[in-house]
Amino acid sequence: MTTKQMKGFEDSYVVEGRMALPYTYFAGRVGSKFITTIRDQKKIMGVKCPTCNVVYLPPRQVCDKDFTDIRDKWVDVSNTGTVSNFTVVRYDDKHLPRKAPFVLALIKLDGADTPFMHILEECEIVEVKIGMKVEAVFAKETTNTILDIDHFKPAAERISVHEINATRKQWVPVDEPDTQGKRKGGKPDMSKPVIITAALSGAATMKNQISSVPYTPAEFAEEAYKCWKAGAAMVHVHAREDAGMATHEHARIKATYDAIKDKCPDIIICLTSAVGMGKTAEQRLSQIVAIKPEVASLNTNSMNFGIVDRKTGKVFIDYVFENTFTMVQDFGKAMEENGVKPEIECYDMGGLDNAMLIGRQGIFTDPMNFNFVWGVAGGQAFRAESFIAMMNALPAKANFTTCGVGTDQFPCIMQSCILGGHMRVGLEDNIKMPNGDLAKGSYEQVEVAVAIANNLGRPVATTDEARLIMGIKKR
């Protein structure tokens, strides 16, 4: 302790001391889960008050407005948001997280109702504006603090598919007898919109692999809506029970179908006629006839359909997926009679030939819609030349789309888009993004498909355009 004298007060001492103020801060269970979710899942979660519908971020245990206990009401919010206010820190101090000058911004994340404070970097201070879109950059090394979001940066400007589609002319079909000839000649019509399908669930993708795979009707509706928003015109659905098992129960499938239609009335729903392992032909078909979706899958050959370790070749699950000629014929007839457009699933060239052979009975109406499926253990792996061979074998007016299991997904859809075909993505086929990170949901893969279309200059089909192209009528 020392003393000093101030000028003009020579008769008075000022005693100088120093305070040590160590302290500990307790985040509580709610605050801790907020941090660990950011740390482990790179996901930002808030809590939603069921009484006043406010989504709080950061989350809190109690809604301060109505005193509702909301500690269990977790909801996902987006990693992107809007700057609602900001300040420029212009002095350096030990407790500050960055060297001055830097920006502390109040950011309202998309999906949250309250703003929270974080560092805004990767842009000039003069460029920071209230209302600017920003996105979270997660820290490479965790500190178990809010700095597990390292900072926010300006979000890449992304104009939505729907905004683009609203400004362009709607595609109209032109009667072009030689579509197939042009394709074969390497001159596909790149002005034709590309239909993006999201296969939301499949029968085998489970929540323990990826939590965003939908089980309940409400989850399907939410996922379908996100995919539609991102640019998908169609969703492919294997309905599930609450516990995750694929179901053939009409009531559950209908509930799932209706929930999607309620949330997202425009989207085309393609129901599976495969359903899942061990289902009988009757179980597989009767639900299609009962619900009459606009589109349903039609599988074309009996084949191995198992689970095999891709590295060691070890067989985990051995299963024969039965699709006899009689079944293909009966399924195809029943679909066409009920106004359900078949999506003809070809796991190899033989399947395509099977469909063509049965098709001589005059079952299928034009245009026929094919889906080339790659990478099933039991079907063919993706090869560019196989793709071209299959495309060249199509009937004149046929459309084709494609999907690939696992790492086949993005290469095969890109090839399809180049060749004038359509694209299917989704967690049924692949749970990852091109960089190997888990996808946040099927919608994030739809965003990749949209980027592919944008880069190739192909418009993304609206739901109306998709119906025109595939020859289906809206229900």
- Residues of this chain that interact with another protein (CB under 8 A) are 1, 15, 17, 19-31, 60-62, 64-65, 67, 69
Of residues 31 and 306, the one with the C-beta less far from another protein: 31
Q: 95 or 360: whose CB is closer to another protein?
A: 95
Q: How many CA atoms lie within 13 A of 370 on its CB side?
A: 29
CB of 158 to another protein, least distance (A): 36
> Residue 317 and residue 305: Cα distance in Å, rounded?
9
Nearer to another protein, 29 or 182 (CB): 29
Min dist CB 416 to another protein, Å, is 53
Q: How far is the CB of 20 from another protein (least distance, A)?
A: 6
Residue 106: which of 123, 81, 137 has the closest Cα? 81
Nearer to another protein, 9 or 23 (CB): 23
* Strands 102-109 vs 116-120: parallel, antiparallel or unpaired: antiparallel
CB environment 88-124: b (16+ within 10 A), e (fewer): ebeeeeeeeeeeeebbbbbbbbebbbbbbebbbbeee
How far apart are CB 36 and another protein at their closest, in Å?
14
Which residue's CB is nearer to another protein, number 24 or number 53? 24
Q: Around Cβ 294, how many Cβ atoms within 10 Å?
A: 21
Taking the least distance from each CB to another protein, the nearer of 58 and 426 is 58
How far is the C-alpha of 82 from the C-alpha of 110, rounded, in Å?
7
Minimal distance, residue 110 CB to another protein, in Å? 24
Closest separation in Å from C-beta 43 to another protein: 22
- d(CA 37, CA 59) in angstroms, rounded, equals 12
| Rounded (5°) CA angle 264-431-44 | 70
Closer of 9 and 25 to another protein (Cβ): 25
User: Residues 70, 61: contact at Cβ < 8 Å?
Assistant: yes
20 vs 243 by CB, closer to another protein = 20
- Residue 424 CA to residue 397 CA, distance in Å, equals 20
> Could you give the CA distance from residue 397 to residue 380 in angstroms, rounded to a whole number?
25
3-state SS assignment for residue 94: coil
From residue 176, alpha-carbon distances to 179, 396, 467 in Å are: 6, 10, 18
Shortest reach from residue 74's CB to another protein, in Å: 16
Shortest CB 79 distance to another protein, Å = 25
Q: Are 43 and 51 in contact (CB under 8 A)?
A: no
Question: Least separation, in Å, of the C-beta of 61 and another protein?
Answer: 5
By beta-carbon proximity to another protein, the closer residue of 51 and 365 is 51
Q: Which of 14, 456 has the CB closer to another protein?
A: 14
Coil/strand/helix, residue 362: coil
Q: Which residues pair with 135 in a beta bridge?
A: 80, 153
Indicate the SS3 state at residue 349: helix
Nearer to another protein, 14 or 100 (CB): 14
**First CA to last CA across the chain, in angstroms?**
85
CA-nearest of 447, 475, 460 to 417 is 460
The span from the CA of 404 to the CA of 181, in Å, is 26
What is the smallest separation between the CB atom of 414 and another protein, expressed in angstroms? 49
Angle at 209 (CA atoms; ends 208, 213), nearest 5 degrees: 90
Give dist(CA 345, CA 300) in Å, integer.
6
Interatomic CA distance for residues 214 and 200, integer angstroms:
7
Nearest distance from C-beta of residue 461 to another protein, angstroms = 48
Which two three-digit tokens encode residue 155? Answer: 């979000």
